[in-house]
Amino acid sequence: MSSSLKNKLRFIAGFAISALCMYLALRGTDLSEVLSILSKINFIYLVPTTVLLLLAFFIRAMRWRYLLASVKSIPTPNLFASTMIGFMANNVLPFRAGEFVRAYSIARNENISLSSSLASLIIERLFDGISISLFFLPLLFVIPLPAWLVNINYLLLSVYALGAGGAAVLIWVGRREFSWLAQRRWEGVFRNFTSGLEVCRNGKEISASAVLSLAHWFAIAIYYYLLFLAFGFSLSFLAAIALLVIVAIGIMLPAAPGYVGNFQYFTVLGLAIFSIPPDQALAYSLVAHAGQFVPVTLVGLFYFFRQSAGLSDLRIAGGAKPDDKPLAEGI
């Protein structure tokens, strides 16, 4: 199967799943009632939620600084700019291209290898997955959660643990000389990639990254909780953590750009556990999604044009291939 056909199938699958999720989210709701609920929320909470969201992304950039420490010491503001560019791209481009755009952005601006940058993002995703799963575990003792959610969390925790083990194996291989590897044209790419994983060998960087991972997701959970207050929901902070986990699972599925549909359905599904009616849950999902989509996209576009990357560079970033050399300025 050609790569072009695969991309078309992925594109169709993402939009199909998003459309199905949106249908399920809208099913059984009264849109006029949803609009009425939206008109009554306390919009004053949207100010601190926006500030908190941007703080969460800045914490993510701080963590990325530690994850790239084995490659190069990069100032956090620079990493924050690339982070926002990447998440903006996830909101407007298919195939979750923002991950590659983010890696390309920092590699281009800091003159590091793209493969090392991509490796650091793989470690970042492992931290994200393990952090969310660990956040979920205490809820089992205080909230009656559906069995399917518990089982999915255990499955994901196992997958991320295996991923961490795979990273350890790659580091071991990357630090040794193998004749079969030296004869391959992609040896440089592999070496740079494993150098991006080397942070896993440093206890200080790993410990700091773990703490910042928990801080990042704690801030996102507060974001959801503040929106509970905006809607007048009598739900605890633990419910916000549970909702965070459920939404995170939902947006792991293939989706249209910006996770439209997936975000709405899994938010409605999560709030149903706490007996929030569908109309209120859908209204909440729309505000929670817009509260993330709009600021992230605007800030990402600001940094994108500030770096004078140009629209052509964004297209290149979505289709570029990892190189075994640092990216020269202007590529």
Q: Which two tokens stand for residue 38?
A: 């939206």
Confidence of residue 187 (pLDDT cuts 50, 70, 90): low
- Residue 133, both tokens: 């799963």
Q: Would the CA dihedral through 84, 152, 264, 241 be positive or negative?
A: negative
Give the pLDDT band (50/70/90) at residue 321: very low
Q: What is the pLDDT of residues 232-241, one digit of tens each?
A: 999 999 999 9
Look at 299 and 330; give whichever has higher pLDDT: 299
List, in sequence order, the alpha helices (H) in the chain. 3-26, 31-40, 46-67, 76-92, 98-110, 114-136, 147-174, 179-182, 187-197, 203-231, 237-250, 262-272, 278-306, 310-319
Collapsed DSSP state (helix, strand, coil) of residue 162 = helix
Report the predicted TM-score, pTM, of the whole model to 2 decimal places.
Answer: 0.87
326 phi and psi angles, rounded to 5 deg: -55, 145
Per-residue pLDDT, 320: 47
pLDDT in tens, 36-66: 999 999 999 999 999 999 999 999 999 999 9
**For residues 12-40, b (16+ Cβ closer than 10 Å) or e, as one string?**
eebbebbeebbeebbeebeeeebeebeee
pLDDT for residue 211 is more than 90: yes
Query: CA–CA distance from 254 to each of 26, 43, 73 (Å)?
Result: 19, 32, 34
Q: What is the band of 309 on the pLDDT scale with cuts at 50, 70, 90?
A: very low
What digits encode the pLDDT tens for the residues 286-299? 999 999 999 999 99
**Amino acid at residue number 207:** S
- Rounded Cα distance between 146 and 269, Å, is 11
71 touches 51 (CB < 8 A): no
Contact present, 318 and 99 (Cβ < 8 Å): no
